[in-house]
Amino acid sequence: MCCRYLKPHLPIKGASITHDQNSFPMKSSSLLITLLLTLATVAALTAETATRWNGTSEIQFSGTSTLHNWSGKVSAEPFVAKVMLNGDNRPTSLKAKVEVKAANMDTAEPKRDENMHKDMKVTTYPLITGTMDTAFDKIMPGGKAPTKLPFTLTILGSPQPVEGSISNWVLKGDVVTFDLDFELSLKKCGITVPAVLLVITVGDTIKLHAPVKLVRAGN
């Protein structure tokens, strides 16, 4: 029989075309799971980890006078530096507080030390503190090794901003060593040094050199 004489198939009255009602929820669930996994992966990559580093330093200071140059040293109290690392294990920020007992400053000359401690009012202000809270892009603007360290120094109870220069940076495993150098003005620090015999005066600029050692203690 010729095909053109076949009657077209008509839908039976009352019948309806059905769809798989479960397909849409399943696809939605799959998309949701994929989205959650993606967000979790991104969060893991961008999450920061806090690391602790135990620090030590013996600070050397030096100045001038009309009679001769002078110098001394003082050890900082053991301190902890907190370094945040990003998902790529690169440092992002640094927080630390370093304290120095002013009465421990020593120039190996008892009479001079006595006058220095008196001028610095070590009984009223026993601690000199350096507080660091900075992003690493300010410490190593070139992205290779740290070259400077901004911090707040508090002497005689008065804080002042200081920017030190970093040199000789070495990182070996869990140990970091570097040298920190900066200068201070006695006048800006509020330290007044009387002239000796009316003619011997101390120069206003004090140079400080601090070899620093940091040892990673864990997270």
State how far the Cα of 129 lies from the Cα of 127, in Å rounded to an integer. Answer: 6
Whole-number pLDDT of residue 194? 83
What percent of the chain lies above the pLDDT cut of 90? 63
Strands (DSSP E) along 64-147, which ranges?
Answer: 70-75, 79-85, 91-101, 127-135
Buried b (16+ CB within 10 A) or exposed e, 132-166: bebebeebbeeeeebeebebebbbeeeeeeeebeb
State how far the Cα of 61 lies from the Cα of 53, in Å rounded to an integer. Answer: 25
Digit-coded pLDDT (tens) for 65-82? 988 899 999 999 999 999
pTM for this one? Answer: 0.76
Question: Which CATH number describes the domain made up of 48-218?
Answer: 2.40.128.110
State how far the Cα of 55 lies from the Cα of 47, in Å rounded to an integer. Answer: 25
**CA 60 to each of CA 57, 98, 187, 213: distance values in angstroms, whole numbers, following the listed order:** 10, 15, 20, 15
Digit-coded pLDDT (tens) for 187-211? 999 999 887 655 678 999 999 999 9
Digit-coded pLDDT (tens) for 123-139? 999 999 999 999 988 89
What mean pLDDT do residues 160-184 have? 96
> What 3-state DSSP class applies to 3?
helix
Locate 100 and state its tokens.
């120095």
